[in-house]
């Protein structure tokens, strides 16, 4: 695998962005979709090729230097790519799921005016995301980090004629900026501590530190603040549900499968630093657990098909952080992979439903779609089973592995995780039953328009469904007589961590029977939720009450997302707005005084001076002669 081919992996989507971005007014629609998709499929093929070459060459990580980028004093930041197990896995998820979503978008966005613009943005997003995972130091990661934030902003506000959508885009951007500040501070602290930002150098130097060193704790906490913003954890999660304002493929690609997992990627990448800071990990675990439970509970009562999935994403990201908190890095990565499959599938399925329902997103107006959208229904069902953690689909293996590690680490968090899992299963089956079972509750027009989506949309659904069903088999736990291929593959990544914190990597103390019990519990709660949801929504055919109806206090609280948005509005947004209003009018007054005063003075003096411009040539000549005389007197006589 030559170096130039590796460079092409991020460059192909960038090329696609340039072509579609510059020519989106002139290139015909058919060509736009093909160019955009081919760029991504090309880099997927290259990624696969790179992965095979890497495995064939004995899985030795290497750094691919491209050019010297920043050299200031002793600090040298090269622009180079790091090829190792982690970056290759991320490459495959991003380009693989990305390709499917691009193909899906050709069908989904077909009637949109901004078709070319959409593909240009999607390609740009992939470029930045690939940069994020390929970079060999924190600064390149930061470029990607900011770039994907920008693309997320552009795509959330893609339908920018709607003010609410624009507000959602701004909210996402600003919340991410809060996290980015933490990330930047983390990078600065790394530079101050290690004198380098290159992963290899930083981690090899970090192995010299003691476990629990305050500097390392500070660095990891700062970096985690960045991850909170990007991966939508408490308290910076409120942007993600609002981000559903964007087109559905965007929600699938950016806000489910790839960008939001950047925080998890970052923590796994810095696993040496995090293993050195147990107190940070504790914090990560608690935040993750709290988010998993909190977001899942909000998801229980949402009626917008995409909002349910958004809260589910937040909650699943919480699981991943919970796993990271228990130092189950491979398990979290495993969940990133399976989550990318089934959540992308859920979003794309939801997109297919929305497409069929003529842009209706409220599940109260759906129902009985299973006969009209058979492929969408089947794939959605598989994804629902996968996310609920029912074997043998993908979600079961990854979630169970996380829960097993958490159980070993902290029993209370495990209880939180199981509760979250109970809710996950409930809201997912509630969504499934309300959408696809029972009678159709929409308008007559909508019923008339119901149709299965075109092949460009259903083929990605089917591929993702296969992956969601079988994806779990890359990490079958030992207790089930399988081999955990993923963990074995990723194991070299933790050399440094193993060196600094050996206790954390001891083989599990859980006996097989204990593991069976844990599995039985998590599958049990998922099944119980399934049955409850079935009884409620299929047998009794109950439909969530319309907004106008009175609800109990608890229901109201959850339905309104615990009033967190209102709280943030009151605590942060309003005070800052009024402060800036005050500062604005204050500044306005003084600056206007100065600027307008200067203008008036000049105008007044100019008014005096212009009287000398009489227009009569004689006067000018006289003034000239007078001037000469004065100069002569000045020079000769004085």
Site residues for other proteins per CB under 8 A: 610-611, 613-618, 621-622, 625
Nearest to other proteins of 572, 622 (CB atom): 622
| For other proteins, the closer CB: 111 or 611 | 611
Q: How far is the CB of 598 from other proteins (least distance, A)?
A: 22
Identity of the residue, 192 or 621, whose beta carbon is nearer to other proteins in the bound complex = 621
**Among residues 214 and 627, whose Cβ is nearest to other proteins?**
627
Asked whether 180 and 226 are in contact (CB, 8 A), the reply is yes
Q: How far is the CB of 636 from other proteins (least distance, A)?
A: 14
Q: How many other β-carbons are positioned within 10 Å of the β-carbon of residue 561?
A: 21
Q: Cα dist. 474→73, 267, 329, 398, 421 in Å?
A: 46, 22, 15, 10, 22
How does 145-174 read in b/e, with b if 16+ C-beta sit within 10 Å?
bbbbbebbbbbbbbbeeeeebbebbebbbe
Cβ atoms of 430 and 533 closer than 8 Å: yes
| Tokens 């064939």 sit on residue | 56
Q: How far is the CB of 607 from other proteins (least distance, A)?
A: 9
Burial 71-86 (b: 16+ CB within 10 A, else e): eeeeebbbbbbbbbbb
Residue 596 Cβ vs other proteins, minimum distance, rounded to whole Å: 23
CB of 615 to other proteins, least distance (A): 3
d(CA 162, CA 169): 11
Nearer to other proteins, 60 or 616 (CB): 616
Q: Residue 143 CB, nearest distance to other proteins (Å)?
A: 58
Closest CA to 149 of 127, 130, 176, 112: 176
Please say whether the beta carbons of 291 and 237 come within 8 A: yes
Instruction: Write out the two tokens for 409.
Output: 């680490």
Q: CB nearer to other proteins: give 481 or 611.
A: 611
By C-beta, is 58 or 606 nearer to other proteins? 606
**Residue 57 or 625 having the CB closest to other proteins:** 625
We find the least distance from the C-beta atom of residue 601 to other proteins, in angstroms, to be: 19
- Report the C-alpha gap between 36 and 339 in whole angstroms: 24
Rounded to a whole number of angstroms, the minimum distance from the CB of residue 603 to other proteins is 13
H runs (alpha helix) in 261-363: 262-269, 271-275, 278-299, 305-325, 329-356
| Nearest CB to other proteins, comparing residues 582 and 623 | 623
Q: Cα separation of 318 and 335, whole Å?
A: 11
Least distance to other proteins, CB of residue 635, Å: 17
Angle, CA 585 vertex, CA 579 and CA 589 arms, to 5°: 145
Smaller CB separation from other proteins, 622 or 633: 622
Name the residue among 563, 398, 568, 556 with its Cα closest to residue 484: 398
For residues 22 and 625, which CB has a smaller minimum distance to other proteins in the complex? 625
Q: How far is the CB of 631 from other proteins (least distance, A)?
A: 14
Distance CA 498, CA 491 (A): 10
Give the residue among 457, 373, 369, 357 at the shortest CA–CA distance from 108: 457
Under DSSP, the state recorded for 120 is H
Tokens of 433: 């039953």
């Amino acid at each position: 695998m030559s170096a130039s081919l590796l460079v092409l992996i991020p460059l192909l989507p960038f090329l696609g962005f340039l072509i579609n971005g510059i020519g989106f007014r002139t290139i015909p629609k058919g060509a736009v979709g093909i160019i955009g998709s081919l760029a991504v499929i090309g880099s997927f093929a290259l990624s696969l090729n790179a992965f095979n070459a890497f495995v064939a060459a004995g899985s030795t990580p290497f750094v691919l230097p491209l050019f010297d980028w920043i050299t200031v004093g002793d600090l040298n930041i090269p622009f180079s790519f790091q090829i190792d197990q982690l970056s290759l896995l991320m490459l495959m998820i991003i380009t693989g799921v990305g390709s499917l979503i691009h193909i899906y978008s050709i069908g989904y966005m077909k009637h949109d005016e901004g078709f070319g613009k959409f593909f240009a943005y999607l390609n740009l997003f992939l470029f930045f995301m690939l940069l994020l995972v390929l970079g060999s130091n924190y600064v390149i990661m930061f470029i990607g980090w900011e770039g994907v934030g920008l693309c997320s902003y552009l795509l959330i506000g893609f339908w920018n004629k709607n003010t609410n959508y624009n507000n959602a885009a701004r909210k996402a951007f600003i919340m991410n900026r809060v996290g980015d500040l933490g990330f930047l501070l983390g990078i600065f602290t790394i530079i101050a501590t290690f004198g380098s930002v290159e992963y290899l150098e930083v981690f090899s130097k970090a192995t010299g530190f003691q476990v629990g060193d305050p500097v390392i704790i500070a660095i990891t906490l700062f970096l985690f603040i960045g991850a909170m913003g990007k991966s939508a954890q408490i308290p910076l999660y409120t942007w993600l549900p609002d981000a559903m304002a964007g087109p559905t493929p965007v929600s699938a690609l950016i806000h489910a499968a790839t960008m939001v997992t950047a925080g998890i990627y970052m923590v796994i990448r810095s696993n040496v630093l995090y293993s050195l800071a147990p107190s940070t990990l504790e914090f990560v675990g608690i935040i993750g657990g709290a988010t998993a439970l909190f977001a899942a509970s909000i998801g229980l009562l949402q009626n917008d098909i995409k909002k349910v999935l958004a809260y589910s994403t937040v909650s699943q990201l919480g699981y991943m952080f919970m796993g990271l908190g228990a130092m189950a890095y491979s398990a979290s990565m495993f969940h990133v992979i399976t989550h990318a499959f089934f959540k992308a599938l859920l979003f794309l399925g939801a997109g297919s439903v929305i497409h069929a329902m003529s842009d209706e997103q409220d599940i109260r107006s759906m129902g009985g779609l299973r006969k009209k959208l058979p492929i969408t229904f089947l794939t959605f069902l598989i994804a629902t089973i996968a996310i609920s953690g029912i074997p043998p689909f993908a979600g079961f293996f990854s979630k169970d592995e996380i829960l097993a590690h958490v159980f070993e680490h902290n029993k209370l968090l495990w209880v939180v995780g199981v509760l979250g899992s109970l809710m996950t299963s409930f809201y997912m089956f509630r969504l499934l039953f309300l959408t696809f079972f029972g009678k159709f509750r929409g308008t007559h027009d909508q019923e008339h328009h119901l149709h299965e989506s075109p092949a460009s949309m259903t083929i990605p659904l089917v591929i993702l469904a296969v992956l969601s069903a079988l994806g779990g088999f890359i990490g079958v736990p030992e207790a089930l007589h399988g081999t955990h291929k993923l963990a074995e593959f990723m194991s070299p990544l933790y050399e440094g961590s193993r060196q600094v914190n050996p206790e954390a990597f001891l083989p599990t103390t859980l006996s097989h029977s204990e593991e069976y019990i844990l599995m039985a519990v998590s599958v049990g709660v998922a099944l119980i939720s399934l049955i409850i949801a079935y009884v409620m929504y299929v047998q009794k055919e109950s439909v969530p009450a319309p907004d106008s109806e009175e609800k109990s206090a608890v229901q109201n609280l959850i339905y309104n997302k615990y009033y967190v948005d209102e709280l943030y509005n009151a605590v942060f947004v309003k005070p800052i707005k009024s402060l800036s209003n005050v500062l604005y009018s204050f500044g306005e007054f003084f600056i206007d005084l100065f600027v307008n005063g200067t203008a008036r003075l000049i105008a007044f003096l100019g008014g005096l001076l212009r009287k000398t411009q009489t227009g009569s040539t004689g006067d000018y000549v006289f003034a000239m002669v007078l001037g000469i005389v004065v100069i002569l007197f000045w020079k000769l006589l004085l």
